[in-house]
A and B are shown apart, each in its own frame.
Chain A
C-alpha cells in the first residue's frame, strides 16, 4: 500500500493513491474477470465432455464435417493477433505511439479475418442443412444423435465468436484513444488489460480447435 505520493496525475482517479495502485487494481480486476470467463466456457466444455463420453463414435464421425484446413488457418490468425496485441503493449510501454497504432490496427484486421473465415464455415454448413438441434436436416452422418454434436459446436464457436466481436469493439476503442495520444509509458492500463482479454479469447480458441476439428 503505497501512501506517500505527492502528485496526482490527470489519469489517476480520485480514489487511488497513485498511478501504480490504479494500474495494479485494474490488472487484478481483469484477471478476476477472466477467471469468470473461463468458468462460463467451463459449462460448455462440461457439456462437451458428457456427450463425448456418451457418443464417442459420433464425435469422431462428425468432426470430419469440419474443415480442418480453415480451422488451422484461423488458429494461426488468432495466434498472430495475440502477438500483435502484445507488441502493441510493448510499444505503449516504450512511448512509441506509431507502433502502438499500427499494431492495434493489425490486430483488428486479423480478428476480422477470423470472423470472415468463421462466417464462410457457418454458411457452408447451413447450406448443407447442418443446423443446430431440431432444425438439423443433414443426412450425411449415420449417427442418430448427430445434431447434438453440432449443437455443441455452434454453442462453443458461437459464444467464442461473440467474444471476438466484443474484442474487436474494445480494440477499436483503444485505437481511437491511442490516436488522441492518451497513452504513454506513464499510462497504458487500458491497452494492457484489453490485451489480457484478447489473449484469453485466443487461448479458448486454442482449446476449441483440437477439441472440435482434430478428433480422430
Chain B
C-alpha cells in the first residue's frame, strides 16, 4: 500500500524542518521523514552560534552578509530560540594587527555593526578574559537553540497540514524511467509518535518531488537514487562547561583556527571546535586530543577554563560540499555556502533535488530558495512568508506576566520555563495539578515534560531536546528516572524501563569525555544512585533468571510470622546461612 504526497522532504535537521514549514505555509501537501528524532543529525550536534557574520567577514563576505540579514530575521520570528548575548573578537598580543583591521573593515562592508573596544572595556564585559587582551571588536553574535528551532518549525508545518514522521528511515529511493517517484520508509515502531516495543513497519510514499535534505548523509541518499552527491563530512568537537564562564560569545580574532570560540548557552557555555575530514559521518573517532585542545587553547583567552568543570563533549559533522573538480585539501578552506543540486539539470534525473552545505543561521533563507525551486517544479504559486510569520512560541511574545504567581512556580523556574516556551507558556504550564520541578538543574517542571511527551512518545531524548531536562550538571543522575516515570501508565512498565535505559545511556555517552575532577565525582554519585540505591544495574526484572525469594531474609521473627509457619524465609537464628537453602 502506498501513501501519496506532493513534496517529500528527507531529513529532520534545520534545513529539512525549515523547508517543510515553508512548503506547508505555501499550501503544498508535504511529508517529512527523519530516521532519528528531529535534530538527530548535525543540527543536534552543533555549536549554537547565531552568527552575526563576523566570523566570515574576511574569508567569505557573501556568507557574512547573509548571516547578519538572517540573524535579524530570526530575532523576530524565533525570539524564544534566541538569546542575544553579543559577541567579541578578541585580540591577544600574539594576534596580527592587520587581520584585526581587515576583520573590522569586513564587518563594515557587510553591514555588520562592529565597534572597537579597548582591552580594559573588554574585561569589563567579560571579567574572566585574560589580562593581556589588547582590544576587541564587538559584534551582534547570539546563541540559538537548534532543538527548539526545529521543533517549532516542524510544529508549524504540522499545523499547516504537513505530516512529520520521525524514526522513519528512507531505505530506498524509487526511480522509474529517470524519474524519482517516491521512497521506501522503515518506521521503527510504526507510524506516528515513537513507542518502544511496538513492531516496526514499512511504508511506500509516492511523491511528486523529493527533497534530499540529509546534510552529511546526502551522498548516501543520492546513491539510492543512482546519482553522486559529493559531500565531504568534517567533524568538530564541542566541550560543554558546567556554567557560564562568559556571557557573550568570545571569538579569538585571528585567521581560521581550531579552538577559537566560546558560546554561552542557557546555564552552560560551549567550547569549540575542530575541523577534520572523516570518511563516514556515522562512525568516526572521538578523540581525547580534541578536548584537551579546546581546554588548553581556549584557556589562553579565558584562563579559568583550565580549572573549570566540563560536563560532557560531543561531536558533529559538517555537511561540507564541494562542486566536482574543486580539489580543496584542507576542510577549513571548503566554502560554507550551500548548494542546491537540481538532479534534472545535473544528472537528467527528474523529481529530486538535493541540498547540501550551509549553516544553521541561514537555514530559513536556504529553505526559501529550495521551496521556490520545488514550487516552480510543481507549478505551484505562492509567496514565502517565513521571514515575517513568527514561529509558534514567538508570536506576540511578551514575558511580562509574573509566572510565579500565575503558575505557582518559584520565580527562577517560572522565568526559565517562560524563556523556553515563549508564547506557549500559558498553554503548557496551566494545570490544575501540582506542578513540581522534575529536572532541577534546568528548572523543568512536570507540566512542561508532559507536554513534550505528548509530542515525542517514548523517545525521551526527543523530550530532552524539547525541554533541556537532564542536560545540566548532573546529566540525568537525579532526574532521568523521574522523567521516565511520566511515561507510565500510558506506556507500560517495560516500555518505560527501556526508554529510561536509552536516555541514561545517551547521557553517559557524552560524559565519558569529561570524566575527571568534579564530573568524575558526579559520575560516581550517579553510579551510586542508580546502581546502589536503585539497583538498576542488576535489575531482576531485566534478567531471565528469577530470584528465589525464599532464600532471603523475610524479616525478624514475629508472633504472626511464626503463626503462618514462618513462610518465606527462615527467620530464626540462621548462623551458618545454610538453614534457609535447599528447599
Asked if chains A and B come from one complex, the reply is: no
